[in-house]
Structure 1
Amino acid sequence: MPTRIFVAGHQGMVGSALVRHLRARNDTELVTRSRSELDLLRQAEVDAFFRKEAIDQVYLAAAKVGGIQANSVYPAQFIYENLAIQCNLVHAAHQAGIQKILLLGSSCIYPRLASQPMRESALLTGPLEATNEPYAIAKIAGIKLCESYNREHGRDYRSVMPTNLYGPNDNFHPENSHVIPALLRRFHEAAREDAAEVVIWGSGKPMREFLHVDDMAAASVHVMDLPPDVWQAHTEPMLSHINVGTGIDCTIRELAETIAKVTGFGGNLAFDSSKPDGTPRKLLDVSRLEGLGWRSGISLEKGLQETYAWFLEHQSHFRGRGVA
């Protein structure tokens, strides 16, 4: 019998990558629902779904996500929606007897000034970055939710904490997106308009690590498939989460220069230091994951080229929103 897997958030960037990866296997049966079919913010709907469907595993990729500006403008939405989705899904899955869940989080769970590279044990050892604190707190609660059901009910609920993700199906909104899709869109428009300059938020000095979403999907399935004894042998006491990244970072300036090259923009790069930089550096320690047999395989430049190609192929979706 194939394993019936529910991918929550299958239409998003991460969820769609998981679906692509899992569909390539012959031992799984995927179950997906759009928001119109199943509203994860409504507990009664989630309870009814799990009572009806014989689900074996859950990948919890559904989330309210966005960049610095979106987090600043909509903090209540970010903390409420993410807390509600996690609580509804995890509890309903437990009540339905589902033993395995993989919750997808974010590296923003770690303190703003955590030692670099950040180990899993850095969780809750210092203040968070203020610009995305509501989202980070919701994701920390999700980790602790999984750990609590493991401790009290013997479940096998795991969490993966990826670094900054990018790739096909990303959000290319000009104001509410993350740094890579925002810059790809901005540089694309500047190149088409033969603009002399592109203005970039912040000083360009912060360092970031970026992971292609297809690598993220592969790592997630790898973690979910690990036998319990192997997983527990490589898990620090009381921790259910593991970092997923490349182990390599770059400055925002270097990122912008690479995106300019990928999009064919030949003008000037101007950095607006009056805008917030966010966390000075975010590099994950991925030694635990590498010890469990997985390593990233998509370089940043190759990943950016593939993402830009996807963006160009789907331009019609963005027309009317400033994309040439």
Structure 2
Amino acid sequence: MGQGGQDKIFVAGHRGMVGSALVRHFFSSGHERLLLRSRQELDLLDQGAVFDFMQREKPDQVYLAAAKVGGIHANNTYPAEFIYENLAVQSNVIHAAHLAGVQKLIFLGSSCIYPKLAAQPMHEEALLTGFLEPTNEPYAVAKIAGIKLCESYNRQYGRDYRSVMPTNLYGPGDNFHPENSHVVPALLRRFHEAVQNSAPEVVIWGSGTPMREFMHVDDMAAATVHVMNLDDATYKAHTQPMFSHINVGTGVDCTIRELAETVAKVTGYKGQLVFDSTKPDGTPRKLLDVTRLKELGWEARISLEDGLRNAYAWFVEHQENVRA
């Protein structure tokens, strides 16, 4: 059916940050033939339920955005849940899609699939060339397995199952928990509270010198749909059977200091920024090579400042019941 707008599309994980961005994208482009199921309606950990759903609904396209995600603290504390739940959800959805005759599926991974010491910027072919970052290795292994599941069904059954690997994402629907969140929502919340409490300074872990890449989730959604809708010949011309995944990022990074200064500007914080260099910095740089994505005709559109303003507005509007 292609891009005519009438494909029946199943967005797995539509209530998460990425899944809800995909739903916004489809609705804004006039595509409303979506299959959406909450966890109460369809538990993706339940293999039988997923199989029955796929057989009954037979979607034309599947966007696999469902995942158990979290920051360093969560990954360190619950490694068993992170590897088990992600492996189970991926296996259930991909296998059930295949059995139901679904030809087109796209799997959303993570940039943490690459080795801890991968050359920067990280190219797709860096996959499986070195040791992973130990703190989130179980999660990364699950995501690598998802890529290989897609490649294996393509090789054996001629399916068209694709994978995209996003950089650090932020935006509406993010997790703003004070301990379990990633750096962007954590800083937005901390600076917001500093403004409310008239705090003279905000302390930020580390020296502020590490460089990171940040992408607004609405850009990620647009890129994912773009990759899904590429014709088969174009997609295969820019990928390889054993490196079928595509990096999705902005291609631009900034220092943590620059990020903090932009968050201060967006939240209206006028106090002092203090960097606690006794705290760990982590990897000096993490940037995705997005050459392949650009060759396929897509580039990020939302600037860091504009994206942060959007994410902050969402947080302020939803802070009473923001996800904990």
Q: What's the TM-score, normalizing by structure 1?
A: 0.95
Distance 1:277 1:141 in 2: 29
Structure 1 98/28 Cα, relative in aligned 2: closer, same or farther at 3 Å?
Answer: farther
Code of the residue aligned with 2:125 in structure 1: it is: S
Cα 1:62–1:53 shift into 2, 3 Å: same
Q: Following superposition of structure 1 onto structure 2, how do residues 216-235 of structure 1 map, counting pairs within 5 Å? A: 216-235=220-239
Three-state SS of the structure 1 residue aligned to 2:252 is: coil
RMSD: 1.5
Structure 1 spans left out of the alignment, 5+ residues? none
Contact 1:60–1:104 (CA under 8 A) maintained in structure 2: yes
Quickly say closer, same or farther: Cα 1:288–1:315, change in 2 above 3 A.
Answer: same
The percent identity for this pair of structures is 73
**Are the counterparts in 2 of residues 100 and 156 from structure 1 also a CA contact under 8 Å?**
yes
**CA deviation profile, 1:180-239 (whole Å, cap 9, x unmatched):** 001100110011101122222233221100010000000000000001011001113422
Question: Does the alignment pair 1:59 with 2:74?
Answer: no
Question: Is residue 220 of structure 2 the alignment partner of residue 253 of structure 1?
Answer: no
- Matched with 1:114 is 118
Q: 3-state DSSP class of the match of 1:296?
A: coil
Instruction: Indicate the larger mover: 267-276 or 229-238.
Output: 267-276
Distance 2:179 2:44 in 1: 25
Corresponding letter in the other structure for 2:176: F
1:153-191 per-residue CA deviation (whole Å, 9 max, x = no partner) reads: 111000000100000111111111111001100110011
| Aligned AA (1:85) | V
Partner residue in 2 for 1:145: 149
Q: Deviation of residue 268 (structure 1)?
A: 2.2
Deviations 1:17-63 (A, max 9, x none): 00011123345510000000011111111111111112111000001
List runs of 5+ in structure 2 lacking aligned partners: none
Q: Which residue of 2 aligns with 1:17?
A: 21
SS of 1:317's partner is: coil
Q: Quote the Cα distance in structure 2 between the aligned partners of 1:162 and 1:31.
A: 23
Give the match for residue 179 of structure 2: 175
The one of 196, 205, 225 aligned to 1:201: 205
CA distance in 2, matches of 1:124, 1:62: 23
Query: Which whole-Å CA distance do the structure 1 matches of 2:280 and 2:13 have between them?
Result: 30
Report how far residue 318 of structure 1 moved.
Answer: 3.9
Retained in 1: the 8 A contact 2:58–2:101? no
Matched letter for residue 301 of structure 1: E
Aligned residue pair count: 320
Task: Measure, in 2, the Cα distance between the counterparts of 1:235 and 1:264.
Answer: 44
Q: Against the structure 1 CA distance between its residues 237 and 99, is the aligned structure 2 distance closer, same or farther, given a 3 Å change threshold?
A: closer
Please report how far the alpha carbon of residue 254 of structure 1 lies from its aligned counterpart in structure 2 after TM superposition.
Answer: 1.1
> Cα gap change, 1:318/1:216 in structure 2, threshold over 3 Å: closer, same or farther?
closer
Match of 1:39 in 2: 43
